[in-house]
Structure 1
């Protein structure tokens, strides 16, 4: 779970940093960046419902891993944004895309046995970029570092909101 926690904390840090600079971004919008950072991990539904079950149930080729690629996350972001009222769709889609992009960046820099990352740009290409080799997905230190960064940003934003405004 350190991997998912790290993704969500990175989403929080990015959303909070954006909210400091962009006036229309509120705490609910920061939450959308965090949701976007977790969206590619919907592919882990494979642990509950196997691809074989999907193929036998619907009769079409299926692989949950597609949700963890660029094509799958673009479709997921578009579908999630359709659930919202029309005036918020574009903003929410952009915020979800920021979170999704951070997820893919952090997954590409993971250590892997082969030295290659996953085919992140599928369906455009099956090219697997070299893995960054920074940490394993089960390491706890990335969650600790991003947790500290999230805490610092939270305190900064809280202090900034509670300070008297200049006249």
Structure 2
């Protein structure tokens, strides 16, 4: 679970840094980035509803793995924005996409046995980027580094908010 935690914390860091840059961003917007960072891991639904079960119910070959690609992220993010008010959808879609992009960037850095990452850009291409080889998804140190970074960003953001003059 350190992998999931790391993605959520990375979304918090990115969202908080964006909130420091853009005045319109509120805590709810940071949450959208965090949800976007978690969205490619919706593929873990296969732990509850296995591919084989869905394939047997539908009568066609089926796999959840497409959710962990750029194409799957676009689909999930577009469906997720439908739950929001129409005037917030564009902004939310961008924030979701920023979070999902951070997830894919971190996953490309994983150490893999083949030396190549997964097909991130599917369905556009099956090309597999070379793996960054920095860490395993089971390693705990990325979560620790992310947590410490988040604490630092949180402290900086609080100080930044205290120093920012309130306009009437």
The TM-score range, normalised by the shorter chain, is over 0.9
Give me the whole-angstrom Cα distance separating, in 1, the residues matched to 2:164 and 2:64.
50
Q: Report how far residue 120 of structure 1 moved.
A: 0.8
Alignment coverage as a number of residue pairs: 167
Q: Which residue of 1 aligns with 2:138?
A: 138
Give me the whole-angstrom Cα distance separating, in 2, the residues matched to 1:59 and 1:85.
36
Q: Which runs of 5+ in 2 are unaligned?
A: none
Aligned residue for 1:90, secondary structure, equals helix
- 2:7 pairs with 1:7: yes
Q: Any idea what the Cα deviations from partners look like across 1:110-135, whole Å, max 9, x if unmatched? A: 00011111111111111111101011
| Matched-pair contact (CA < 8 Å) for 2:51–2:62 | yes
- 2:158 pairs with 1:158: yes
| Matched-pair contact (CA < 8 Å) for 2:20–2:160 | no
Give me the whole-angstrom Cα distance separating, in 2, the residues matched to 1:43 and 1:152.
31
Q: Which runs of 5+ in 1 are unaligned?
A: none
* Superposed structure 1 runs of 4+ greater than 6 Å apart: none
